[in-house]
């Protein structure tokens, strides 16, 4: 049993504090000598997000992933109070992590960085109209553009798995004598690459931007993508309305002769392991 529990133990002997799913195909998912008191309520441990501060038995695999196979803390009936008592710690760490992400993005060089929650992204067909062999030279030549990125329905399914993320914006003033749109867009995506590389293993991400992926000098398409988990996907290929996103985030987004706006959306969710 854990040493830290809620002072008010009104949860004891309450039905809401215990659930045993003996018919689950994975039951018991951890080795136990008391299957009758194996608590399945916290199927995926809420404390995983706390990293080394969770208080459980764990180790880190060579690839940096936290391995909790030896730990049974969330599944011991007596530990409901301990888990519930640490929800405040989870909220505080999430807050701290969000601030760190925003500050990291600004430090890298993005003009604006806004954390967004409660996202319900819509993949609109009208925004993908130019994604065809006649409208774009990149069509069929990389994993970022159609058909490599998948159908609009497949894209919608991918973004549907995320409800929060960081909206990043690079705003550049234009020199009338030197309008290097492609170069400015590449700078924007190189910042995005650095941000993704610095984000560590705590997050599952789906990065959406303009101008193509810059993780590889040459895309492996049609051979398998070299970095499918972190590649930069196309906002337009996904049918995402950038103007609406910026409006919701309180950011300016317009087409002006003296200024250009490049936008990226890094959808994020915490890594979860039992």
Strand ranges (E), 146-219: 164-173, 203-209
177: pLDDT confidence band, cut at 50, 70 and 90? low
Last residue of a domain, one of 67, 85, 103: 85
Mean pLDDT score, 259-272: 88
Per-residue pLDDT reduced to its tens digit, 125-173: 999 988 888 888 889 999 999 999 999 999 999 999 999 999 999 999 8
Distance CA 116, CA 166 (A): 6
Q: What Cα–Cα distance (Å) separates residue 13 from each residue in 9, 42, 249?
A: 10, 17, 45
Last residue of a domain, one of 68, 85, 102: 85
At 272 the pLDDT is 57
Last residue of a domain, one of 39, 61, 85: 85
Which has more pLDDT, 65 or 72?
Answer: 72
At 250 the pLDDT is 94
Distance CA 186, CA 235 (A): 15
Per-residue pLDDT reduced to its tens digit, 22-40: 899 989 888 888 889 899 9
Shared domain for 181 and 62, answered yes or no, is: no
Shared domain for 101 and 163, answered yes or no, is: yes
Mean pLDDT score, 5-21: 78
Shared domain for 166 and 53, answered yes or no, is: no
Quick one: what percent of the chain has pLDDT higher than 70? 93
The answer to whether residue 58 is domain-embedded is: yes
Q: Cβ distance 48 to 66 under 8 Å?
A: yes
Directed axis angle between helix 87-108 and helix 181-198, to 10°? Answer: 150
Shared domain for 202 and 68, answered yes or no, is: no
Distance CA 274, CA 272 (A): 7
Distance CA 136, CA 241 (A): 19
pLDDT surpassing 60 at residue 92: yes
Q: What Cα–Cα distance (Å) separates residue 218 from each residue in 148, 181, 215?
A: 15, 20, 9
5: pLDDT confidence band, cut at 50, 70 and 90? very low
Q: How many domains does the chain contain in total?
A: 2
2: pLDDT confidence band, cut at 50, 70 and 90? low
Letter string b/e over residues 78-117, b meaning 16 or more CB atoms within 10 A of that residue's CB: ebbbbbebbeebbeebeeebeeebbebbeebebbbbbbbe
């Amino acid at each position: 049993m854990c040493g830290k529990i809620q002072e008010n133990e009104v949860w004891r002997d309450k039905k809401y504090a215990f659930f045993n799913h003996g018919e689950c195909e994975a039951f018991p998912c951890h080795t136990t000598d008391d299957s009758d008191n194996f608590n399945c309520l916290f199927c995926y441990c809420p404390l995983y997000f706390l990293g080394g501060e969770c208080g459980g038995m764990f180790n880190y695999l060579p690839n940096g992933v936290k391995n909790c196979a030896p730990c049974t803390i969330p599944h011991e009936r007596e530990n409901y109070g301990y888990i519930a008592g640490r929800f405040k710690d989870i909220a505080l760490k999430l807050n701290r992590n969000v601030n760190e992400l925003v500050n990291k993005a600004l430090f890298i060089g993005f003009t604006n960085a806004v954390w967004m929650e409660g996202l319900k992204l819509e993949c609109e067909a009208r925004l993908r109209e130019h994604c065809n062999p006649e409208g774009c030279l990149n069509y069929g030549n990389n994993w970022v553009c159609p058909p490599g990125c998948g159908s609009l329905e497949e894209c919608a399914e991918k973004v549907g798995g995320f409800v929060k993320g960081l909206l990043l914006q690079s705003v550049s003033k234009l020199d009338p004598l030197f309008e290097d749109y492609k170069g400015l867009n590449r700078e924007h995506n190189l910042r995005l690459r650095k941000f993704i590389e610095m984000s560590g293993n705590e997050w599952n991400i789906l990065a959406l931007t303009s101008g193509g992926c810059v993780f590889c000098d040459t895309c492996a398409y049609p051979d398998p993508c070299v970095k499918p988990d972190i590649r930069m996907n196309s906002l337009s290929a996904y049918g995402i309305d950038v103007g609406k996103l910026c409006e919701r985030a309180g950011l300016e987004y317009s087409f002006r002769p003296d200024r250009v706006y490049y936008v990226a959306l890094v959808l994020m969710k915490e890594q979860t392991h039992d």
